[in-house]
Amino acid sequence: MAFELPKLGYDYSALEPHIDARTMEIHHTKHHAAYTSKLNDAVAGSSLDGKSIEEILTNISSASIAVRNNGGGFYNHSLFWKVMSPNGGGTPLGDLADAINKAFGSFDNFKSEFSNAAANRFGSGWAWLVITKDGLKVTSTPNQDNPLMDISEVKGTPILGIDVWEHAYYLKYQNRRPDYIAAFWNVINWDEVAKRHKG
Amino acid sequence: MAFELPRLNYALDALEPVIDRRTMEFHYGKHHQVYVNKLNELIKGSPFVNSSLEEIIKEAEGGIYNNGAQVWNHTFYFQSFKPKGGGKPEGELASVINNTFKSFDKFKEQFSNAAITLFGSGWTWLVKNDSGDLQILQESNAGNPLRNGLIPILTCDVWEHAYYLNYQNRRPDYVKSFWDILDWETISRRY
Ligand SMILES: [Fe+2]
Ligand SMILES: [Fe+2]
């Protein structure tokens, strides 16, 4: 079965003023849609046809570069839309809060480590909060790679991610990536992140 | 000595409609300027404090390499343009392009394709080696062919910041228009 571009759970304008409607619309209908259709082209008729995206990504070292780039792009954006919400922001609660405190000392330490990872990723890529076998970690990956991939430096299950390709912020923030990263904290859907943490 | 942002010999709106004024303001006035500033900060107290950009590109790693190469790449990119440019290469470069790629149109097609398919941020290059042979390369992020002993002739910046304000996700449209502002007199002299 072919992969489908997921619908957003909110309007394109719902994350304003942090992320503008035009950016959201182009990001979803053009960038994410292109990754989705190119992924379908790349797996059609191959041994990967019918496999789940998670299965494909965890064995990405044996797949083609087209599957790596577009499979990553499909998965990463699907996660990105989910971990944001118009009612987002604030801080996590419960088990996730405990796990963050345990791994980073405090929420503020985590916030600065994650923000730095996002700001310092040179070129296009993503910063992540990841469940690893040694607890929660922050990492970043180039282009459309992610921590599910068996080629990733830090491997695990991503539960929060920020897109730092320039297309994610350029219409509103231009060269000011740090301003976009600061704004992102206002739209993080911690309920969704906690759900993914629980597994 | 500190590096400086080189002057442009055309106005910021001179490349319109191919590259709009606002893109130039950010690309040259912010991105290029910030690479210059960061490089100057990073080389202070480093072994590269008195190095040329070319030495930095050949020998440095990490932030010094990235910012040094980005300074060089953008200077080279902006110096490849002129208002109402376009046309074709001249002299020796024209004949080597014909010999290597069969025709200028074939070269244009191959270079454009390399620019369109480069995944993520980076630069597409036309380079020559010691024997004068031409080659098209895709380099990620700050990648600069001088590092591998090759001589750059032409480059296209395909970081999204180079075209996003005007073209958004339509990189192929930017690459198509890019040919209309090339200053082939300058580019041909590089060969
Ligand atoms: Fe994106
Ligand atoms: Fe650039």
Domain positions in chain B? 21-78, 91-190
Asked if B159's CB is within 8 angstroms of A175's CB, the reply is no
Q: How far is the CA of B10 from the centre of ligand 2 (A)?
A: 18
Whether pLDDT at B181 is above 90? yes
Angstroms from B109 CA to nearest CA on chain A: 21
Question: B30 and A69 in contact by Cβ < 8 A?
Answer: no
How much is the pLDDT for A199?
86
Cβ(A95)–Cβ(A198) under 8 Å? yes
Which two structure tokens, joined as six digits, stand for A139? 């990492």
Superfamily per CATH, domain B91-190: Iron/manganese superoxide dismutase, C-terminal domain (3.55.40.20)
**CB within 8 Å of A135: residues ≥ 6 apart:** A99, A102, A103
Cβ contact A166–B168 (<8 Å): no
Per-residue pLDDT tens for B23-34?
Answer: 999 999 999 999
Which one of B159, B161, B168 has the shortest CB-CB distance to A26?
Answer: B168
Q: Which chain B residues are closer than 8 Å to A66 by Cβ?
A: none
Q: Which of A32, A69, A166 has the highest number of chain B CBs within 10 A, making it the mutation to test binding with B?
A: A166
Secondary structure of residue B142 in the 3-state scheme: coil
A137: how many CB neighbours lie within 10 A of its CB? Answer: 19
Q: Average of pLDDT values for A52-63?
A: 98
Instruction: Please determine, for residue A2, whether its predicted confidence score (pLDDT) is greater than 90.
Output: yes
pLDDT in tens, B3-46: 999 999 999 999 999 999 999 999 999 999 999 999 999 999 99
Q: Distance from the CA of B17 to the center of ligand 2, in angstroms?
A: 18
Percent of chain A with pLDDT over 70: 99
CATH architecture, domain B21-78:
Orthogonal Bundle (1.10)
pLDDT cut 90: percent of chain A above it:
99
Pairing of strands B151-157, B122-128: antiparallel
Q: How far out from the chain centre does Cα A12 lie?
A: 18
Q: Contact, A131 vs A162, CB < 8 A?
A: no
**CB atoms A167 and B165 under 8 Å:** no
